[in-house]
Amino acid sequence: MKADKFREECGVFGIFGHPEAANLTYLGLYALQHRGQESAGICSSDQKQLHLEKSIGLVADIFNEKRLKRLPGYMAIGHNRYSTAGGSNPKNVQPIVANYSLGQLAIAHNGNLVNAFELRKSLEEEGAIFQSTSDSEVFIHLVAHSKADDLKERIVSALARVNGSYSLLFLTEKKLIAVRDPYGVRPLSLGQVDGAYVVGSETCAFDLIGATYIRDIEPGEMLVIDANGLTSYKSVVTAPRKAFCIFEYIYFARPDSYIFGGHNVNAVRKLFGRQLATENPVDADLIIPVPDSGVPSAIGYSEQSGIPFEFGLIRNHYIGRTFIEPKQSIRHFGVKIKLNPVRELLEGKRVIVVDDSIVRGTTSKKIVKMIREQGGAREVHMKISSPPTVGPCFYGIDTPTRHELIASSHNVEEIRRYTTADTLAYLSMEGLFKNIPDPENFCSACFDNNYPIDFPGQESQLELLF
């Protein structure tokens, strides 16, 4: 199986009981754009049949009034998707819709199934024909192949066969069903607007449409929303532990969201920054973040240390996919297109630069050079608001293979030398766990190689990845 199968990041949104279901789903996806920028889609139901519009591209580019009008009905689900290597495959754009013996079924999935390959093989042997190469389609076939005579039971029997992470939305002609995997790897929240129920990956989607956050969908819980209202089935699948993704707090979720039990992401990131300052003090004139990912922790660092915070790097937020690189090579062009230093602030200064993580190390190296050479800084001290990233993620965060993760084969001093920073410090594991609510419920495999969800054929799959 190809390694890129594991590399998916997504956002999901659903609504039941609203006359503007498709429009609000569009806005929900718009607010969740950071979770996936490759493709997006919305499926609505007018109670008789499902309607689907989806494409490669950003939410605001894909949908216009005309397209949203083709999505009638009071209920809808939507999906944003991002996947790396392998390129954009239009067939993998979600929601995926299929006909089965009980009617029509659409699915939107955030997460990664670790036994998708085996399931797919056995389903194909039973005669299933897959439309896509996405692991999410496995759910559809498992539901279709189940012998149970109602959809809820079919989904339960499908879930019993899958292993991995899933925050999952199903839409039929008459029902919206939301499920979160028993480990609770990815977030999924429930809210309400104008009497309609909404579900979404993050609460920032609720804010945009004026919805009120009610609660998280619990790990292992299935919510069925239909004409009878909302019915909750707890523990339809179970797991030995919870495994909330720690990287949602560090990088992935938006700072204005409340996740994993209603905790604000910005507040947690600021605590990481404060902790980093306590663990790794250094004399400096200025603290600057790598925008946007380093901003809350840089503010926390500044508050704790008393060293002034400034925006010393300016980010261009309007980079299209089609920008043209100059033929003659400009040094560090890749980072330059996104970031530019404010020389006025940096010249002659001892600068602390804060980012959330180092993955391959190439960005940090370019940023340090930029701050020193273009910005004129006297010293550059790099502070990272997470521990060294040593392990790839198999549960839905886009990380490269292990050998590409610089911290998997280099110690902090070697990484410092590579980035050319004067000093480099990471947040400690203890410091990280001290500052997250309910730390025992988290997966931190990317920092400690302790993978909470085993998978069959793990060894051979890992070989392909490392």
**Catalytically annotated residues:** 10
Tokens encoding 379? 């010293």
> For residue 288, what are the CA distances in angstroms to 188, 311, 428?
32, 6, 21
Minimum CB distance to ligand AMP smaller for 110 or for 357: 357
Q: What would the 3-class secondary structure string for 155-202 be?
A: HHHHHCCCCECCEEEEECCCCEEEEECCCCCCCCEEEEECCEEEEECC
Q: How far is the CB of 82 from ligand AMP (least distance, A)?
A: 8
Backbone angles phi, psi at 221, to 5 degrees: -95, 145
Contacts with 363 (C-beta within 8 Å, 6 or more apart), sequence order: 290, 335, 355
| Residue 427: closest CA among 298, 339, 334, 255 | 298
> For residue 90, what are the CA distances in angstroms to 38, 96, 306, 370?
10, 11, 50, 37
Minimum CB distance to ligand AMP smaller for 174 or for 360: 360
Residues 415-428: b if buried by 16+ CB within 10 A, e if exposed: bbebbebbbbbbbe
List beta partners, residue 176: 171, 225
Minimum CB distance to ligand AMP smaller for 105 or for 295: 295
Minimum CB distance to ligand AMP smaller for 267 or for 359: 359
376 C-beta neighbours (distance < 10 Å), count:
16
Q: How far is the CB of 199 from ligand AMP (least distance, A)?
A: 24
Measured CA to CA, the distance from residue 30 to residue 100 in angstroms comes to 31
Cα radius of gyration rounded to whole Å, the chain: 23
DSSP 399-447: ---GGGSHHHH--HHHHHHHHT-SEEEE--HHHHHHTSSSGGGEE-HHH
Contacts with 299 (C-beta within 8 Å, 6 or more apart), sequence order: 270, 273, 289, 309
Terminal-to-terminal C-alpha distance of the chain: 13
Q: How far is the CB of 79 from ligand AMP (least distance, A)?
A: 18
Minimum CB distance to ligand AMP smaller for 10 or for 358: 358
Measured CA to CA, the distance from residue 285 to residue 131 in angstroms comes to 57
314 C-beta neighbours (distance < 10 Å), count:
12
Q: How far is the CB of 184 from ligand AMP (least distance, A)?
A: 19
Minimum CB distance to ligand AMP smaller for 280 or for 357: 357
Minimum CB distance to ligand AMP smaller for 172 or for 419: 419
Q: How far is the CB of 386 from ligand AMP (least distance, A)?
A: 9
Q: Where are the alpha helices (DSSP H) in 47-186?
A: 59-62, 65-69, 116-125, 137-145, 151-159
Contact residues for ligand AMP (CB under 6 A)?
Answer: 251, 290, 293, 355-364, 397-399
Q: How far is the CB of 287 from ligand AMP (least distance, A)?
A: 16
414 C-beta neighbours (distance < 10 Å), count:
14
Minimum CB distance to ligand AMP smaller for 176 or for 397: 397
Q: Are the beta carbons of 143 and 105 closer than 8 angstroms?
A: yes
Q: How far is the CB of 106 from ligand AMP (least distance, A)?
A: 27
Q: How far is the CB of 177 from ligand AMP (least distance, A)?
A: 29
